[in-house]
Amino acid sequence: MSALTRNRTTLAVLAGMGFLLASASHAAVDAAKAAQLGKNLTPTGAEKAGNGGAIPAWTGGVNKPIPGFKVGMFHPDPFATDKIAFTITPANYKQYAASLSVGQIAMFEKYKTFKMNVYPTRRSAAFPQRTYDFTFKNATTCTLVANGEGVKNCAEGLPFPIPQNGFEVIWNHKLKYKGVSFSRFANQAAPSANGNFTLYSIREDGLGLYYKPGNTTSNINDILLYFKQEVLSPARLAGQVLLVHESLNSVQTPRKAWVYNPGQRRVRLAPNVAYDNPGTATDGLRTNDMTDMFNGAMDRFNWKLVGKREMYVPYNSYKAHSGNIKVKDLIRPNHLNPDLLRYELHRVWVVDATLKPGARHINSRRTFYVDEDSWQILTTDGYDLQGKLWRYSEAPSISYYEVPTFWSTIETHHDLKSGRYISGLLDNEAKPYNFGFVSSPSDFTPQNLRNEGVR
């Protein structure tokens, strides 16, 4: 069976379930379905078997550090000896169109220098055994509440490993294990048409109470994540701090946010840090809800689970992650340096989010492509209010095998109208993610922002 036929068949079967999925109750699956986890399904709900071709079977992923790795290092590539299988270019992309998104096709049509080096597929995603154990329990207990805006009866693991609708797929992305506490440099660059850029140095700290052993959705006061972002440079923005308390139920407990302005030495509530308001120092190229490919409330969109596809997606992006390269090696006019990126064929869940009548957002529609093994959103297509394709986003990701977790190492958002893009998480000249970072809720209070004000 060809890739095109296989994709159409998969989508047709699942699309045919569309009415059932849309009208399904927000109930957990029964024990018989949950029993598939760890058998014909992986512990996180992916198909364990390969596709009889380029996609191999999942055999556990990269679930421990490779020889020579020490905590604090940038992660050496477990697949460094892999060779490029083939390259997709503007000259031949139509041969592979069945496994490309609309946004990817637009990139080939707009930029003569854009290409995808496709490598052998490595199903490297892995999580701790505790995550697998709690994911199995959640499958029969976790449910959606507040019309999909919240979850309950969940603990630690993925909430919906066998998803029945689009809300559940996105909640899997939002709740996938990322370590209990982390600190990272989210440095970002938005180059001009000739590739010139200013690097904004940004530090971000996070504490996910949901992942702390012993916690459940009922005993953490609806707090999914404490998040703090401080701009370190350039000087005109240095000292600006954003604090967010992210909710597990945006209806019952809406997101709270505060900003510290070093010039005024004041902490103020920031109700606009949500939805389509611009992110910090982004030149309007990324909205707040595009961080981590998607975050926050879902109430302005209708979420449809379209089905599953085989697609070429950024994966095992260790070259781009490396501390041996400079940011200037990555940044190029129009897009990142394609020779430092890696693409593989993987199965992804497709979720289509369409703006509700009367709701406000700069996007009328967004299509999310979610990795079946890790529940990481790997690529997104975004449409303007006239229904025309506007943005293409992707998240080159790796297995942080000392945790283990599979997460983005870069996020890039392309504005296909202006020809500009912005890349974040550019830590190559700083330090890699620190999953040993120790923090507590007291580190994420408005009063703490006042105490830490530096100018």
Closest by alpha carbon to 397, among 292, 316, 301? 316
For the chain, first and last CA: distance in Å? 64
Distance CA 371, CA 309 (A): 10
Half-sphere exposure of 267 (CA within 13 A, CB side): 18
Give the burial string for 160-188 (b: 16+ CB within 10 Å, else e). Answer: bbbbbbbbbbbbbbbbbbbbbbbbbbbbb
How far is it, in rounded angstroms, from Cα 6 to Cα 65?
A: 35
Which pLDDT tens digits describe the chain residue by residue (455 residues)? 444 444 543 454 344 444 334 433 466 899 999 999 999 999 999 999 999 999 999 999 999 999 999 999 999 999 999 999 999 999 999 999 999 999 999 999 999 999 999 999 999 999 999 999 999 999 999 999 999 999 999 999 999 999 999 999 999 999 999 999 999 999 999 999 999 999 999 999 999 999 999 999 989 888 999 999 999 999 999 999 999 999 999 988 999 999 998 888 899 999 889 999 999 999 999 999 999 999 999 999 999 999 999 999 999 999 999 999 999 999 999 999 999 999 999 999 999 999 999 999 999 999 999 999 999 999 999 999 999 999 999 999 999 999 999 999 999 999 999 999 999 999 999 999 999 999 999 999 999 887 776 44
Query: Would you mind telling me the total number of residues written for the chain in this entry?
Result: 455
Instruction: Report the amino acid identity of residue 61.
Output: G
Dump the DSSP string for 221-283. Answer: TTEEEEEEEEEEESTTTTT-EEEEEEESBTTTS--EEEEEETTTTEEEE-TTSSTTSBPTT-T
Sheet holding 223-233, edge to edge: 181-185, 201-207, 223-233, 241-247, 256-261, 266-269
Residue in 317, 291, 368 with CA at minimum distance from that of residue 125: 317
Handedness of CA 307, 308, 313, 318 (dihedral sign): positive
Question: What is the DSSP code string of 62-111?
Answer: S-SPPTT--TTSPPPPTTTT----EEE-TTTGGGGGGGS-HHHHHHHHH-
| AA letter at 233 | S
DSSP, collapsed to helix, strand or coil, labels residue 357 as coil
Query: Which of 247, 233, 193, 257 minimizes the C-alpha distance to 446?
Result: 257
**Residue 145 CA to its chain's centroid (Å):** 23
